[in-house]
Structure 1
Amino acid sequence: MLKQILVSNAAGAQLVLRQRQQSCRDYADGRDEGSSMTIGLDDIVDDVLRRQPATFRTFLDYKMRCIGCPIARFHTIGEACRAHHVEPTAFLAALRAVEADQASD
């Protein structure tokens, strides 16, 4: 049982590492700033907050205190929703509405 947990955690850590590395490459290539990518459940919370600062209010409205949290650098939107008992579809729709509003400005 312990071995399965360790293998599962290692696989999850590798996935997060790959996501963070891609995010860093995107930022270095300038793709992060002003990106028109749609926010998804697999996006890292910290990346979303940096890319779309207007989403801060949405996190607060849903009682998700991810802003400034050290775990935000590793949690995906989906993981944060599970941790805070927030319905992911509604939260994602709210984030995407803010993103669309910002894109139209």
Structure 2
Amino acid sequence: MAITKNSIIGDVLDKHPETAELFFSIGMHCLGCPASRGETIEEACMVHGADVDALIDSLNEAVGE
């Protein structure tokens, strides 16, 4: 299943823990917080000023989608 901007960060990390580095690389260092694990990727990108489309592309490439 492809990762989308509506995917929940915690779900992505649970299924693909190797993607944590991609979140870290754009400044999302709070992946262990309960709030961040329940956010969508789009919500987190808005908070961190990151390009959601670029992150989604990188995440899907990393997991082979």
Task: Say whether the 8 Å CA contact 2:31–2:37 is kept in structure 1.
Answer: no
Runs of 4+ in 1 over 2 A off after TM superposition: none
Whose helix fraction is larger, Structure 1's or Structure 2's?
A: 1
Is 1:77 the counterpart of 2:38? The answer is no
Unaligned runs of 5+ in 2: none
2:9 paired with 1:49: no
* Worse overlay, 62-71 or 85-94: 62-71
Number of residue pairs matched by the alignment: 65
Q: Report % sequence identity.
A: 35
Quick one: which amino acid aligns to residue 76 of structure 1? Answer: T
- Which is bigger in relative contact order (C-alpha 8 A, separation at least 6)? 2
> 1:73: Cα distance to partner?
3.0
CA-to-aligned-CA distance 1:4-30 (integer Å, 9 cap, x gap): xxxxxxxxxxxxxxxxxxxxxxxxxxx
Shift of 1:72: 2.2
C-alpha contact 1:49 1:56 (8 A) present in aligned 2: yes
TM-score normalised by the chain length of structure 2: 0.90
Gap regions ≥5 residues in structure 1 = 1-36
